[in-house]
Amino acid sequence: MSKTLGVLGGMGPAATLDFLAKLQAATPIQREQDHLRVLVDINPKVPDRNVSDSDPGPVLAAMAAGLKNNGAQVLAIACNTAHAYASEVRASGLPLVDMLEAAGQAARAAGATQVGVLGTGLALSLYRDQFAHQGLEVVTLDDHEQVEFMALLYRVKKGALGQDSREAMAGLAHRLVGKGARAIVAGCTEAPLVLKAEDLAVPFIDATEVLARACVAACLAHDA
């Protein structure tokens, strides 16, 4: 039997649904019953991870504990920035599949050492630390471009998934390529809602999809 996955989601809800779709697509099956059992807490009430005086840690810890109490055996956070509170989630005692670590492994597999990351300020700090351990250099937007990204992020969170948003996100990714990035990581779960591989001439690493594959591997590992 595969392990039961618990997902801390809702940050935001559309991004969590995107993750679940990618999780299903990544699962090897011969029949319906081969899919993973997944417990999902879609909680858009988690305090904003991008506001300096908010503290999402206790809410995320409670979500992790609730998922464990309901039978989860492995945890995943469907939000890059919320990995800043990974220690609170791991306090549940369950293993956490690390989205940022998985994204770094995918970047290395793509042969890139200079990696552009589209993410929030806190997520970028996490990516710098994680990627440094993996021998990768993070390429980031300039300050004014990062302001553009954050404004776009909040529009996407409100449901702006049209052509304007797609062109704006691709434009920001192209600026990272212009700064020397040899691959682009969608380091915010809203980014792949409006950015696809075909928008870029360098490898595109969708951290949401990478996390989905890593979760499948973690839940099936004991069957090997």
Say which of 20, 72, 75, 79 is annotated catalytic.
Answer: 79
Which one of the listed residues 74, 86, 107, 188 is annotated catalytic? 188
- 215 is a catalytic site residue: no
Residue 181 identity: A
d(CA 113, CA 99): 18
* Residue with tokens 């840690």, as numbered in its chain: 57
Active site residue 188: yes
Stated length of the chain: 224
**Start-to-end C-alpha separation, the chain:** 11
Cα gap 213→149, rounded to integer Å: 27
Q: Which residues pair with 76 in a beta bridge?
A: 7, 97
Q: Give 159's DSSP letter.
A: T
Question: Which tokens sit at 174?
Answer: 């192209």
Judged by DSSP in three states, 44 sits in coil
Residue 184's H or E segment, with its range, is strand 183-186
Name the residues annotated as catalytic: 79, 188
